Amino acid sequence: MKKWFADSLDKRFLFGTTKDKIGEPVLYEPAKANMMPVEIFDVDEFIEIAERAEYCSIKRLERVVKLKLRTPRKLYTLKVNPTNAEEIVKKLSCEIREI
């Protein structure tokens, strides 16, 4: 395969390793790419995502509270101080689950 062809491929194209077609482009995305959680750093954006979320899991640790939103496709997380967590939880419109 020519180098310019391999460089021009989109990241979605991976090279398969089957016996018959070694080096042929394959149309699929790796499973791990879609399964990784996304960390959100903006509280307002987190509240926006909560409108379409199925539920919010709350994990309270000593120094931080982790809020986890489960949407149909992804898991979004937000780490906040315990003092700010209650204010954010009151603004959420989805089901709330304590872990």
The pTM for the full model equals 0.65
Same domain as 96, residue 49: yes
Q: What is the pLDDT of residue 35?
A: 74
Same domain as 47, residue 2: no
Same domain as 58, residue 90: yes
Q: What is the pLDDT of residue 71?
A: 94
Q: What is the pLDDT of residue 27?
A: 61
CB 40 within 8 A of CB 78: yes
Same domain as 59, residue 23: no
Same domain as 21, residue 2: yes
- The Cα-based distances of 63 to 17, 19, 69, 82, 95 in angstroms read 47, 53, 20, 7, 24
What is residue 97's three-state secondary structure?
strand
Q: What is the pLDDT of residue 67?
A: 97
Cβ within 8 Å of residue 52, ≥6 positions away: 71
Q: Which domain holds residue 20?
A: 1-31
Same domain as 96, residue 73: yes
Same domain as 51, residue 7: no
* Tens digit of pLDDT at every position of the chain (99 positions): 444 455 555 544 555 555 555 566 656 555 555 578 999 999 999 999 999 999 999 999 999 999 999 999 999 999 999 999 999 999 998 999 998
Structural domains counted in the chain: 2
